[in-house]
Amino acid sequence: MLTTGNQLKAARALMGAEQKDLAEAAGVHVNTIRSMEAAGAAPISGRASTVQMIQRVIEYQGIEFLNHGQPGVRLRNDPPSFREYLFRVEFADDPRGDFISDARTMIRAGNMPEIASLDSLLSHLRMRGADRAVAPIAERVWAEYQHSIGLSDRRASPDQGKTPDELTSENDG
């Protein structure tokens, strides 16, 4: 749990982020981050919901908060969840970027559950009333996520990943 200003500063350093970057990702003003970090070893003051949002954004970057007698932070070893990935990935001002930006907004608002498969992502988007044009973009972002953590898409064809020679030899069979 995020408890002190020094802990926040250390977490931000592990992220490699400036105060303004963290503030933007968390949807708060940069002065909020500055004043929290200025607390030093003292407990952070501020609205619990704001502290929780900042903590969530940091955790989505793969940082774990430690409070075993003394507050600390460390990098997690496990691969990021899809929600964490959405906060880590960079994006441009294009339809893919719009999808990621909208997803980050839903996550901040608590309106996106943890997504475990492409089917659950598409189902969630349908339930939220997303336009059909969003599906191919969501599929692309999901495939990028799967690739980033070393997995392939579960709905991939049996031929995916095979070389042209392997496909030809099977068909000549």
- Does residue 29 lie in a domain region? yes
- Does residue 110 lie in a domain region? yes
Which tokens sit at 52?
């929780």
- Does residue 138 lie in a domain region? yes
- Does residue 163 lie in a domain region? no
Q: Which helix (H) or strand (E) holds 123?
A: helix 118-127
How high is the pLDDT of residue 154? 45
Residues 49 and 19 in one domain: yes
Residues 28 and 60 in one domain: yes
Domains: count for the chain:
2
How high is the pLDDT of residue 168? 44
- Does residue 161 lie in a domain region? no
Q: State the Cα–Cα distance between residues 64 and 51, nearest whole angstrom.
A: 15
Q: State the Cα–Cα distance between residues 148 and 88, nearest whole angstrom.
A: 11
Q: Are 65 and 1 in contact (CB under 8 A)?
A: yes
- Does residue 165 lie in a domain region? no
Q: State the Cα–Cα distance between residues 145 and 87, nearest whole angstrom.
A: 11
Residues 60 and 88 in one domain: no
- Does residue 33 lie in a domain region? yes
- Does residue 130 lie in a domain region? yes
Residues 66 and 92 in one domain: no
How high is the pLDDT of residue 142? 94
How high is the pLDDT of residue 160? 39
Q: Which of 93, 92, 75 is nearest to 84 (CA)?
A: 75
Q: State the Cα–Cα distance between residues 37 and 8, nearest whole angstrom.
A: 6
Residues 112 and 95 in one domain: yes
Q: Are strands 63-67 and 71-75 parallel, antiparallel or unpaired?
A: antiparallel
Q: Are 87 and 104 in contact (CB under 8 A)?
A: yes
Mean pLDDT, consecutive 10-residue stretches, the chain (173 aa), reads 93 92 90 96 90 89 84 86 87 90 88 90 91 92 87 47 43 46
CA distance to 2, 97, 100, 149, 155, per residue, from 52 (Å)? 8, 25, 21, 26, 35
Domain that holds residue 44: 5-75
Residues 137 and 113 in one domain: yes
